[in-house]
């Protein structure tokens, strides 16, 4: 059986004035019809580049500089622009990550479908419209008549991605390249879309290349997988085999580093292949260190108490109340966190977990309800000294490492800001000393002081954020999805760091995440949120073993099970 697609010794380069980047080096791949090939790797591995190279849509100045791409016997690199355009759409279809930006917002989806059909097939007029309707049905969209005349913004994210898939299928292609098709979607929708892709693949005997950084996705629908690192393929094979018994060191570390959802371990396994050796955490002498000065005074009892918290956002203002569009982000939330405890808040996007965190931190004002920090009511944004003092005990770490640091300030100034502002050190020299210490402590080294944020990687920036948070000597640390934007290999280090700091300094931690396995490893107790309300609060182990609420069960079902791949969860309707 000849391959649908064979890639031999592919090289892709990006020449810039700083030097040439070798995005893809000497890559070999094969794909059969009816098979799903997963391309997995972390950011920068080159997996998306391969997809773009196949259909010749590389971002300039990228160029294919070597190798051949054999598709159905023809070398795609030999084709003219005109011929390549024919191939796209009719033979090869591509799906991108963000359905919102993939569709032209000003044209109805019906029109977009029809124009693609007309170009890719011989159909015209009403025959084309009929085909559009068929396509929509085949991707699971009902009410096709009304949908055809609708605009993209009137659909939800999952539906939009279905439309995108329909568009990609318009020309009856033989190969589909899916570039992170579910990354921008909610967990429950993800499963649906993946199922759709898989069933389409089997029904129409398509070849599918799915590019992703999420191993769970691979476990879900791929037959074979190629693991990429730094532009090269390090290992290929059957999914079952790779996941259970990987041979290459990188693959081994990668799989081991994915947080396990099935039992709690003490520390996250770090990906040593990249980071070069395990990082030992330097212990500090709490008695003499500046950071330790306030540890002695750690109060006991309830650190955070939330009672009946409500917050509604006005999405669209209008003169008349009935025309206003509002969103109940937080709905009568009550919980309490003990000092020294690690508390998790888990839920999908839109569940309100981040909003709760921001309300506690004082970035938003609640509509009503109490928030108490160490017994001090801070819900109203008064400027009283007690409130300010109570708030000083609290610091926050955010999700996006790229926007959480002021690009124009040096690391020294970023970390020193709270120290200088609150004058907790006597002299400028002492300030530098303290900053130096903290940077060492979070694993960055004092040489980082004079540099600017853009000189650091994502993981290192999060360390800087952590250092800045520590500089206020907080008793409570709120972590809002601190590792969601980081590669798996780096996640482990940051999470380990957080764990160590908590144990050492006796911090109370409020940990927000949508990632259940991470929650399991990090938190003692956890609250599950949905649509702004709390569904369940329990000890972590209890929640994972015997969840009480149906929604908690639902979330647990969606957790990728690497030991149970092969039996993907059944397509889901949400809980009642």
Partner 1 sequence: MAEPTTQSRWQRFLDNDVTWSFLHTPSAIVAACVTVIAVSAALAAPWIAPYDPFDPSQISLWDGKLPPAWVEGGSSAYLLGTDNQGRDMLSTILYGGRLSIVVGFVAVFLGMLLGVTLGVISGYLGGKVDAIIMRFADVQLTIPGILLAILINGIGRAILPIDMRDDFAIYVVIIAIGLTDWPQFARVARGATMVEAQKEYVQSARVIGLPGWLIMIRHILPNTLRPILVIATIGLALAVIAEATLSFLGQGIPPTTPSLGTLIRVGNEYLFSGLWWITLFPGIALVVLVFAVNLLGDWMRDALNPKLR
Partner 2 sequence: MAAVSAISFSLFNFVGDPVNNMVGQDATREQRVEIRQQLGLDDPVLTQYTRFIGNVLQGDFGLSYRIKRPVSTLILERLPATLELVFVSALIALVVGIGLGVYTGIKRDTWVSRIVMAVSLIGVSLPTFIIGIALIYLFAVHLRWLPSSGRSGTIDLGFWKTSLLSVDGWRAIVLPAITLSLFQLTMILRLVRAEMLEVMRADYIKFARARGLAERTIYFVHALRNTLVPVITVIGLNIGGLIAYSVITETVFQWPGTGLMFIQAVDFVDVPIMAAYLIFVALLFVVINLIVDILYFVVDPRIRLGGS
Contact residues: partner 2, CB under 8 A: 55, 57, 85-90, 93-94, 96, 98, 101-108, 115-116, 119-120, 151, 153-156, 164, 167-168, 170-171
Nearer to partner 1, 255 or 416 (CB): 416
Location of structure tokens 């791929």: 222
Q: Which is nearer to partner 2, 24 or 170 (CB)?
A: 170
**Dihedrals phi, psi of 518, to nearest 5 degrees:** -65, -40
Does the protein bind partner 1 through residue 511 (CB under 8 A)? no
Alpha helices in 215-248 (DSSP H): 215-221, 239-244
Residue whose C-alpha is closest to residue 41's, from 250, 269, 261, 197? 250
Smallest distance, Å, CB 256 to partner 1?
Answer: 19
Q: What is the largest CA-CA distance in the chain?
A: 81
Cα dist from 244 to 211, 224, 241, 300, 386, whole Å: 20, 13, 5, 45, 56
Buried b (16+ CB within 10 A) or exposed e, 234-253: bbbbebeebbeebebebbbb
Residue 563 parent element (H or E): none
Instruction: Give the residue with the Cβ less far from partner 2, 56 or 553.
Output: 56
| Residue 404 site contact among partner 2, partner 1, none (CB < 5 to 8 Å, cut-off depends on kind) | partner 1
Q: Which ranges of 316-474 would DSSP assign to H, the alpha helix?
A: 353-361, 385-391, 411-422, 428-441, 458-470
Site for partner 1 in 401-440 (CB under 8 A): 403-408, 417-418, 421-422
Query: How many positions of this chain bind partner 1 (CB under 8 A)?
Result: 37
Judged by beta carbon, residue 57 or residue 127, the one nearer partner 2 is: 57
Residue ranges of the alpha helices (H) in 149-248? 157-169, 187-204, 215-221, 239-244
Least distance from partner 1 to the Cβ atom of residue 498, Å: 16
- From residue 451 to residue 490, the character string flagging contacts with partner 1 as x (rule: CB under 8 A) and all else as - is x---xxx-------x--x---x------------------
**Should residue 97 be labelled a site residue for partner 1 when binding is judged by CB under 8 A?**
no
The CA radius of gyration of the chain, in Å to the nearest whole number, is 26
Query: Which of partner 2, partner 1, none is residue 408 near (CB under 5 to 8 Å by kind)?
Result: partner 1
Q: Tell me whether residue 139 or residue 396 sits nearer to partner 1 (CB atom).
A: 396
- One residue of 388, 542, 548, 571 binding partner 1 per CB under 8 A: 388
Q: Which does 331 bind (CB under 5 to 8 A by kind): partner 2, partner 1, none?
A: none
Q: Which does 406 bind (CB under 5 to 8 A by kind): partner 1, partner 2, none?
A: partner 1
In the three-class reduction of DSSP (H, G, I as helix; E, B as strand; rest coil), residue 156 is classed as: coil
Residues 450 and 412: beta-carbon distance below 8 Å: yes
Candidates 281, 207, 211, 245; CA nearest to 30 is 207
By the rule CB under 8 A, 394 interacts with partner 1:
yes
Dist CA 340 CA 143 (whole Å): 53
Select from partner 1, partner 2, none the partner in contact with residue 421, using the beta carbon and a kind-dependent cut-off of 5 to 8 Å: partner 1
Q: Kindly state the smallest distance separating residue 399's Cβ from partner 1, in Å.
A: 7
Could you say which residues in the range 9-38 bind partner 1, by CB under 8 A? 17
- Is 501 within 8 Å of 470 (Cβ atoms)? yes
Question: In the complex, what is the shortest distance from the CB of residue 482 to partner 1, in angstroms, rounded to a whole number?
Answer: 11
The contact mask relative to partner 1 for 275-314 (x = CB under 8 A, - = no) is xx--------------------------------------
Piece in contact with partner 1 (CB under 8 A), picked from 263-271, 283-291, 345-353, 361-369: 361-369
| Cβ proximity of 370 and 377 under 8 Å | yes
User: b vs e for 153-165, b when ≥16 Cβ sit within 10 Å of the residue's Cβ?
Assistant: eebebbbbbbbbb
The residues binding partner 1 (CB under 8 A) are 17, 274-276, 358, 361-363, 388, 391-392, 394-396, 398-400, 403-408, 417-418, 421-422, 447-448, 450-451, 455-457, 465, 468, 472
């Amino acid at each position: 059986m000849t391959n649908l697609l064979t890639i031999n010794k592919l090289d892709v380069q990006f020449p810039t004035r700083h030097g040439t980047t070798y995005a893809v080096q000497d890559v070999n791949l094969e794909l059969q019809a009816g098979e799903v090939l997963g391309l997995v790797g972390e950011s920068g591995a080159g997996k998306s580049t391969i997809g773009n190279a196949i259909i010749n849509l590389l971002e300039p100045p990228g160029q294919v500089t070597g190798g051949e791409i054999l598709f159905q016997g023809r070398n795609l690199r030999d084709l003219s622009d005109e011929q390549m355009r024919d191939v796209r759409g009719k033979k090869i279809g591509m799906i991108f990550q963000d359905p919102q930006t993939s569709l032209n917002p000003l044209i109805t989806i019906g029109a977009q479908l029809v124009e693609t059909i007309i170009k890719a097939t011989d159909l015209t007029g009403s025959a084309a419209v009929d085909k559009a309707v068929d396509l929509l049905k085949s991707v699971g969209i009902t009410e096709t008549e009304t949908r055809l005349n609708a605009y993209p913004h009137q659909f939800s994210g999952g539906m939009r991605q279905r439309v995108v898939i329909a568009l990609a299928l318009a020309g009856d292609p033989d190969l589909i390249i899916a570039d992170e098709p579910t990354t921008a979607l909610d967990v429950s929708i993800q499963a649906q879309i993946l199922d759709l892709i898989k069933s389409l693949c089997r029904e129409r005997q398509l070849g599918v290349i799915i590019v992703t950084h999420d191993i769970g996705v691979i476990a879900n629908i791929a037959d074979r997988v190629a693991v990429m690192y730094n532009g090269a393929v390090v290992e290929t094979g059957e999914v079952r085999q790779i996941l259970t018994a990987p041979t290459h060191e990188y693959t081994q570390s990668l799989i081991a580093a994915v947080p396990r959802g099935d039992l709690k371990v003490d520390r996250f396994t770090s990906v040593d292949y990249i980071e070069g050796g395990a990082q030992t955490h330097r212990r500090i002498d709490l008695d003499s260190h500046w950071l330790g000065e306030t540890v002695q005074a750690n109060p006991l009892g309830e650190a955070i108490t939330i009672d009946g918290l409500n917050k509604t956002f006005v999405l669209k203002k209008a003169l008349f109340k009935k025309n206003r569009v509002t969103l109940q982000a937080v709905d009568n939330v009550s919980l309490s966190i003990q000092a020294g405890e690690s508390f998790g808040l888990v839920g999908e996007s839109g569940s309100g977990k981040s909003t709760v965190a921001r309300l506690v931190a004082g970035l938003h004002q609640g509509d009503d309800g109490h928030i108490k920090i160490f017994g001090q009511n801070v819900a109203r944004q008064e400027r009283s000294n007690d409130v300010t003092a109570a708030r000083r005990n609290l610091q926050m770490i955010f999700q996006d490492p790229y926007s959480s640091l002021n690009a124009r300030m040096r690391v020294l100034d970023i970390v020193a800001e709270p120290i200088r502002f609150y004058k907790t050190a006597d002299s400028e020299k002492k300030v530098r000393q303290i900053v130096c210490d903290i940077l060492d402590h979070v694993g960055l080294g004092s040489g980082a002081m004079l540099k600017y944020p853009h000189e650091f990687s994502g993981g290192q920036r999060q360390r800087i954020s952590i250092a800045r948070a520590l500089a206020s000597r907080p008793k409570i640390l709120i972590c809002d999805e601190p590792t969601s934007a980081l590669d798996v290999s780096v996640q482990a280090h940051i999470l380990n760091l957080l764990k160590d700091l908590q144990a050492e300094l006796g911090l109370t931690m409020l940990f927000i995440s949508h990632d259940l396995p991470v929650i399991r490893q990090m938190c003692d107790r956890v609250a599950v949120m949905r649509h702004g309300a709390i569904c369940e609060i329990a000890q972590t182990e209890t929640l994972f073993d015997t969840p009480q609420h149906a929604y908690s069960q639902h979330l647990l079902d969606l957790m990728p099970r690497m030991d149970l791949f092969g039996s993907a969860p059944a397509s889901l309707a949400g809980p009642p």
